């Protein structure tokens, strides 16, 4: 228990909760006094010794079940409650499914018998899902989906349906089949919660092992490692950063207005005067870009998307026009939200109307919606910026549309906050998308994001 408590305190510190050495010792003494038999007293003792500020309460409540269990519902041994005749029918129905994938049949039997995943099964599923590479609890849902898919839980519904159909053919009563369906669903929920607990616990332990170290400058902190309270501080950094970028962009525009002398055009224009006087001609001026933004607003991408939108709309005087869209499972036009409103106010409304949820990211579908409903936004003058990690949850990535958009636009750029080593792993389609882009920028931090935006604005 002492080692578990130490890991718990480290995780709280890594999440931004201030816990002193003396308070850690107080927590250990409190646990020795109240014991571990009563969960509520155990939790109250830790909360009373480790949490000092109201804002840290939610962080404590989130981490506590990851280190000390979540009390997930028990699983039922379904055949044990059946009659001999019903067990025989169930056995015959299972044999009729022998043509299905063996691993799924094994999972179905595990579900029927109410057996939780063993520690070795969880470790194997974690390895298949790349859980050891997790960097932040914001990736928890993503890793949960990968582990459910690796375990076969996403394909289990169809197999259960086939089992129930077989039992119906064997004459099992409808009421019994419905009870069986409910018990299977309860067991499946318990297995999903076990996977969720495993993912959250591992990510929290990895977070605790890294510790609370931070770079000297908040602009160099990766978006997925921002702590509670640092997001607001980084917004203030963004205001100052946007002012510097605006000054730099305005200087470039001024230099473009002054222009560089074009000797060839100057001589040609002066021929009608016999060369005197000279009629000065300059090279073409720099034109402000027309931007179209497509921002992934799923859980792991929200901070990065928010800062990109804030930054671009802080620089609107250096942009001819901006059309903005966000997507998770499909595309949503948010351009009107920023028309006549302050960027921060508009962004709060966008986040409120597009909350994270159970739906899966589908960029392919979003590209199709862009081409079908908003195709006139993209033309030869448009600079198209797609912010995303290139993960489609095994949906069709619609690379044909990505290629089409690149051809129709002036330039197409990708902004990706995920480490480059992960781009082709699992359901990642980033290597394929990169082939249909004029450039790919790694934007893990605000400094990298601002640098990418400034480089695009600087290009002629």
Rounded-to-integer distance, Cα 336 and Cα 352, Å: 15
With residue 113 as reference, give the H or E element that holds it. helix 102-113
Rounded-to-integer distance, Cα 63 and Cα 54, Å: 15
Query: Given this model, what pLDDT does residue 294 score?
Result: 95
Residues 300-337, buried b or exposed e (16+ Cβ, 10 A)? bbbbbbbbbbbbbbbbeebbeebbbbbbbbebbebbeb
Query: Given this model, what pLDDT does residue 332 score?
Result: 94
Q: Is the pLDDT of residue 370 over 80?
A: yes
**What is the per-residue pLDDT across 286-295, written as a single tens digit (0 to 9) for each?**
578 899 999 9
Q: Is the pLDDT of residue 1 over 60?
A: no
Rounded-to-integer distance, Cα 53 and Cα 47, Å: 11
Q: Is the pLDDT of residue 99 over 60?
A: no
Query: Given this model, what pLDDT does residue 437 score?
Result: 93
Query: Given this model, what pLDDT does residue 438 score?
Result: 93
Nearest to 389 by CA among 460, 443, 350, 330: 443
pLDDT band at 256 (very low <50, low <70, confident <90, very high): low
Query: Given this model, what pLDDT does residue 139 score?
Result: 78
Instruction: State the chain's mean pLDDT as an integer.
Output: 81
The fraction of the chain above a pLDDT of 70, given in percent, is 87
Of 191-195, 215-219, 291-295, 337-341, where does the model show the most confidence?
Answer: 291-295
Under 8 Å CB-to-CB from 11, ≥6 apart: which residues? 63, 66, 67, 204, 205, 207, 208
- Lowest mean pLDDT, pick from 51-55, 60-64, 66-70, 378-382: 66-70
Query: Given this model, what pLDDT does residue 103 score?
Result: 55
pLDDT band at 327 (very low <50, low <70, confident <90, very high): very high
Q: Is the dihedral of CA 148, 161, 173, 109 positive or negative?
A: negative
Q: Is the pLDDT of residue 230 over 70?
A: yes
pLDDT band at 145 (very low <50, low <70, confident <90, very high): confident
Mean pLDDT of 98-114: 66
pLDDT band at 137 (very low <50, low <70, confident <90, very high): confident
**What is the per-residue pLDDT across 429-450, written as a single tens digit (0 to 9) for each?**
899 999 999 999 999 999 999 9
Query: Given this model, what pLDDT does residue 211 score?
Result: 63
Of 28-32, 63-67, 389-393, 432-436, where does the model show the most confidence?
Answer: 432-436
Query: Given this model, what pLDDT does residue 70 score?
Result: 59
Mean pLDDT of 29-39: 77
Mean pLDDT of 208-236: 73
Query: Given this model, what pLDDT does residue 383 score?
Result: 94
Q: Is the pLDDT of residue 368 over 90?
A: yes
Rounded-to-integer distance, Cα 198 and Cα 439, Å: 38
- SS3 state of residue 387: strand
Higher pLDDT, 179 or 2: 179
Query: Given this model, what pLDDT does residue 402 score?
Result: 94
* DSSP annotation of 341: S
Mean pLDDT of 268-282: 72
Under 8 Å CB-to-CB from 353, ≥6 apart: which residues? 332
Omega of the bond prior to 277 within 30 degrees of 0, cis?
yes
Of 208-212, 384-388, 419-423, where does the model show the most confidence?
Answer: 384-388
Mean pLDDT of 252-262: 61
Burial category of 352 from C-beta neighbours within 10 Å (exposed 0-12, middle 13-18, buried 19 and up): exposed
Higher pLDDT, 382 or 211: 382
pLDDT band at 71 (very low <50, low <70, confident <90, very high): low
pLDDT band at 11 (very low <50, low <70, confident <90, very high): confident
Q: Is the pLDDT of residue 102 over 70?
A: no
Give helix 230-258 / helix 446-458 axis angle, nearest 10°: 20
Query: Given this model, what pLDDT does residue 85 score?
Result: 74
Q: Is the pLDDT of residue 228 over 70?
A: no
Higher pLDDT, 380 or 224: 380
Query: Given this model, what pLDDT does residue 218 score?
Result: 79
- Lowest mean pLDDT, pick from 91-105, 178-192, 219-233, 294-308: 91-105
């Amino acid at each position: 228990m002492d080692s578990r408590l130490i890991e718990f305190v480290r995780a709280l510190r890594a999440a931004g909760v201030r816990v002193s050495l003396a308070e850690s010792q107080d927590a250990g003494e409190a646990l020795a006094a109240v014991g571990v038999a009563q969960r509520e007293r155990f939790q109250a003792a830790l909360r009373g010794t480790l949490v000092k500020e109201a804002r840290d309460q939610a962080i404590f409540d989130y981490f506590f079940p990851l280190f000390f269990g979540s009390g997930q519902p028990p699983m039922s041994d379904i055949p044990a409650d059946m009659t001999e005749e019903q067990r025989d029918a169930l056995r015959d129905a299972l044999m009729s499914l022998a043509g299905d994938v063996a691993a799924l049949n094994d999972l179905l039997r595990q579900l029927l018998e109410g057996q939780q995943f063993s520690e070795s099964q969880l470790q194997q599923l974690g390895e298949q899902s790349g859980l050891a590479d997790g960097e932040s609890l914001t990736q928890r849902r993503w890793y949960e989906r990968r582990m459910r898919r690796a375990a076969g839980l996403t394909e289990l519904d169809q197999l259960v349906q086939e089992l129930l159909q077989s039992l119906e053919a064997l004459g099992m009563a409808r009421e019994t089949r419905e009870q069986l369906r409910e018990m299977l669903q309860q067991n499946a929920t318990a297995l999903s919660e076990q996977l969720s607990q495993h993912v959250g616990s591992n990510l929290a332990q990895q977070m605790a092992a890294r510790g609370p170290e931070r770079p000297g400058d908040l602009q160099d902190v990766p978006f997925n490692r921002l702590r509670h309270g640092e997001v607001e501080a980084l917004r203030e950094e963004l205001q100052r950063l946007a002012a510097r970028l605006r000054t730099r962009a305005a200087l470039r525009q001024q230099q473009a207005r002054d222009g560089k002398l074009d000797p060839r055009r100057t001589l040609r224009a002066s021929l009608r005067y016999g060369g005197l006087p000279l009629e000065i001609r300059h090279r073409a001026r720099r034109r402000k870009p027309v931007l179209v933004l497509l921002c992934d607003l799923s859980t792991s991408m929200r901070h990065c998307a928010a800062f990109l939108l804030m930054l671009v709309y802080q620089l609107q005087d250096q942009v001819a026009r901006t059309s903005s869209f966000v997507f998770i499972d499909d595309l949503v036009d948010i351009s009107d939200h920023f028309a006549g409103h302050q960027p921060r106010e508009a962004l709060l409304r966008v986040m409120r109307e597009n909350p994270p949820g159970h739906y899966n990211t589908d960029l392919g579908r979003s590209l199709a919606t862009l081409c079908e409903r908003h195709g006139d936004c993209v033309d030869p003058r448009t600079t198209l910026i797609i912010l995303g990690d290139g993960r489609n949850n095994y949906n069709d990535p619609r690379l044909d549309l990505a290629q089409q958009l690149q051809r129709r636009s002036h330039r197409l750029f990708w902004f990706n906050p995920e480490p480059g080593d992960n781009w082709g792993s699992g359901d990642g389609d980033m290597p394929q998308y990169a082939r249909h882009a004029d450039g790919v920028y790694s934007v893990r931090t605000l400094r990298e994001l601002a640098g990418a935006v400034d480089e695009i604005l600087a290009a002629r």
